[in-house]
Amino acid sequence: MTEVKLFGTLFVVATPIGNLEDITLRAVRILGEVALVASEDTRHTRKLLTHLGIGTPLVSYFKGQEASRSEPILKRLLAGDDVALVSDAGTPGISDPGALLVKKARELDIPVVPVPGPSALTAAMSVAGFEETGFHFLGFLPSRANDRRKFLKSHLAEKNLLVFYESPQRIVATLEDCLAILGDRRLVLAREITKLHEECWRGSLAGAVADFKAREKVRGEFVVIVQGGGAVAEPTAADLDALLVWYRDNSGLSLKDATRRIAEDLGLSRSQVYQKALAVWRMQ
């Protein structure tokens, strides 16, 4: 006797984070077979489906409206239709909409099936080069400076790697807060992963602050991977020199004030920083 299908299946489908060749064969099949695709941004997903030659109908499912958008999707699932959930890029539910719909579907005993694939988080971790296997994923840090600093202080003692996402608009301010609160730890900054201008920056927080402050414009979202507590890196001479050059040319601070601030941020003696600063200021 043929088993009667009571409900449809909710497929949580990972899509490319940049390079369209990263779509999996299974994802292509599922997106073509389901009755509906629930998408974070229908315009973005339509471009992907058109590229793949798929004409499945789309419905929007975006952050801030997840509760109201979930109800019609759940009705379709309860009626027996299969639905694919996708985000703009990567895996839904990881700092992207999706968790609420999955939760509600499970509460109704609707089957939920992952279709794994690209994720900025795992892609960045795979090329970071840290020997530590444990990490603590923080999603996006708070956008307000005071909230962000409090949040970082609450993770000061975390021994595992700290991993989070950040926007290009806030990356410098966030790196400065990390340096001031966490100390000068080793880190990796991955941006534009799988895209034309992909970059995987490695070094210390002090070096990252100096480098990215000096850049005229920064594009692309970041995956930031910071060494855990108890593994603070001593700033290299190159890091300190670069930071001093930036303070000399961009901060408007005097040699004395720049020395004081850098010494406090990096936990170094003022005399040590002052000697370096003197040499940098004389190069003007």
Helix (H) or strand (E) holding 135: strand 135-140
Joined together, the tokens standing for residue 106 give 């499970």
Amino acid identity of 256? Answer: K
Q: Is the per-residue pLDDT at 259 higher than 80?
A: yes
List all residues 6 or more positions away from 87 whose beta carbon is below 8 Å from its beta carbon: 15, 39, 40, 96, 97, 98
Alpha-carbon gap, residue 73 to 61, rounded angstroms: 9
Q: In sequence order, which ranges of 133-269 are alpha helices (DSSP H)? A: 145-154, 171-182, 205-214, 237-246, 255-266
> Within a 13 Å sphere around the CA of 256, how many CA atoms are in the beta-carbon half?
0
Q: Is 0.85 topped by the overall pTM?
A: no
Task: Quote the pLDDT of residue 4.
Answer: 58
Mean pLDDT over 29-54 rounds to 96
**Model confidence pLDDT, tens digit, residues 135-185:** 999 999 999 999 999 999 999 889 999 999 999 999 999 999 999 899 889
Contacts of 68 by beta carbon, 8 Å cutoff, 6+ apart? none
Structure confidence at residue 238 as a pLDDT band (50, 70, 90) = low
Residue 230: what pLDDT?
Answer: 63
pLDDT digits 0-9 by tens, 74-106 = 999 999 999 999 999 999 999 889 999 999 999
Q: What pLDDT is stored for residue 40 in this prediction?
A: 94
- In this predicted structure, what is the pLDDT of residue 51? 96
